[in-house]
Amino acid sequence: MTNDPTTPQPGPEGAPDAGGVPPQPPQQPVPPQPQQPGPPQQQPPAAPEPAQQQPVYPPQGQTPPPPGGGYGQPYAQSAPGQGTSNIVLNLWLSVFFSWIPALIFYLIEKDSATPIERKAAADNLNFQLIRIIAMVAAGVLVGIPVLGWLIWVAAVVGGFVISIIHAAKVPGELQAGREAKFLLAPTWVK
């Protein structure tokens, strides 16, 4: 440092220098400030994906149709094939468990099913009752040495096979809107 009379000389700490100006604290280096983000760079627009249209049921703002018919239509005018899933389940359970599922489904859906479906459930129950009566009657005849056992096997296997035929054939008839025909079914339960 040179002693230049025109340059103010610092005095002791905190004391004003020769020019009467208080000393300035030493300046610390200023860290670089992050740059402000500029306008976002625009990317080329991606090709729009085809929207998969999801069916809305019921349509927005509308209430669902009542069971067994659509928006005030009578049962006979409802579309064929509506509600046949319960009759399918009814028939296949009846193949293995006989009259119990037939009675349960008949009682549960007696008031809510279409007339064709109600008649199919009633006919299934009627056939399952005949099947049980035949098995019990054949069981009584088992006491007859050979003939009794043959009758009992025929009753069990015949009832099982006819139940499978019903389970395979009846849902197709109902979906077509036709009344199904049950083999060996009386009209006890209507």
Query: Of 82, 50, 73, 88, which is closest to residue 166 (Cα–Cα)?
Result: 88
Query: In this predicted model, what pLDDT tens digit does every residue of 121-160 receive, in sequence order?
Result: 888 889 889 999 988 988 888 888 888 889 988 999 998 9
Most confident of 35-44, 79-88, 163-172: 163-172
Query: How does residue 37 score in pLDDT terms, banded at 50, 70 and 90?
Result: low
Residue 17's contacts (CB-CB under 8 Å, 6 or more residues apart) are: 8, 9, 10, 11, 23
CB 135 within 8 A of CB 156: yes
Residue 58 preceded by cis peptide, ω within 30: yes
pLDDT exceeds 70 at position 178: yes
Give residue 91's pLDDT: 86
Q: What is the pLDDT of residues 71-112, one digit of tens each?
A: 544 444 344 445 556 888 888 888 888 888 888 888 888 887
Instruction: Work out the pLDDT band at 161, boundaries 50, 70, 90.
Output: very high
